[in-house]
Structures are given as structure tokens and as C-alpha cells.
Amino acid sequence: MITTRHEITIAAPVETVWQLHTDVAAWPTWNSGIDLAALDGELKVGASFRWLTHGLDITSTVTDMEPGRFVAWGGPAAGIDGVHRWTFEPYGDCRTRVVTEESWAGAPVDADPAGMLAALEQSLVAWLDELKRTAEQGR
């Protein structure tokens, strides 16, 4: 199993960042690593959504959520079981600290843990950077 954690501070209110990040269907409009994202209904515990990223077709299910504070989801893709948690914290004057933590387990991870960790870290850093850029532009 591999696990990684990254954080970023965004110069936008937590409400703005939360709304942007939890509008799953809009992810492809601002996150270049996501080609497709679809959610039927509202994002809540038990809801599932489908997304396509880096050639992986993933169906994730929300496992934990407190609106405006955190959301976690998990699901299998290509033999990898992933668990992903995002935390949003008001920070200073109209800023938000976003923390993302993700773990992967499964045969592909066991076969190449260093390569898988590098790919996961690159993906999460890019996601945070694009979230920051978009939120700060006031989308």
C-alpha cells in the first residue's frame, strides 16, 4: 500500500473552494487531468460518481462528508483500491488550506510501489495547483 498527503493554501474563501471542488461534473472544465466526470444527483455519503483520468475509468463512492469541511471517496480502478480524502479549512483572511490524502492498494501497487507513488503524487499536486488557479481566478 502507498499513501501520500499534500496541502496548498488558496487565496479564496472556503465556500468558493468547496463549491468548485464538489461540482464533480465541472471537473473537466478546470482540471486538465480529468477527461470526464458525471454524478447523478447530489454529492453526499453513499453517492457514486464516474470519472475518467489518465486512461482510468473510475467509479468512486462517497464514504464520508461534512459539507464545507471534508469529503472522502473510494473505489477500485485497474486492480487498485483507492481511498481519497479532501479537507478544507478556513485559513486567515479569505484563504483556504486544502489537504488531500490518498492511499492505493492492490497488485499493481505491489508490483511497482515507487512508480505508483510518483504517479499519484504528480496527479495530486497537479489537481491542487489547478484547484488553486481556478479558485483564485474567481470561477
pLDDT tens-place string over residues 8-20: 999 999 999 999 9
User: Which CATH class for the 2-136 domain?
Assistant: alpha beta
Q: What's the pLDDT score for residue 127? A: 97
Domain boundaries, the chain: 2-136
Q: What's the pLDDT score for residue 40? A: 87
CB contact at 8 A, 20 and 131: yes
| pTM above threshold 0.85 | yes
Half-sphere exposure of 32 (CA within 13 A, CB side): 7
pLDDT tens-place string over residues 11-49: 999 999 999 999 999 999 999 999 999 998 999 999 999
pLDDT tens-place string over residues 112-131: 999 999 999 999 999 999 99
pLDDT at residue 87 tops 70: yes
Q: What's the pLDDT score for residue 54? A: 85
Distance set, CA 97 to CA 28, 87, 135 (Å): 22, 8, 12
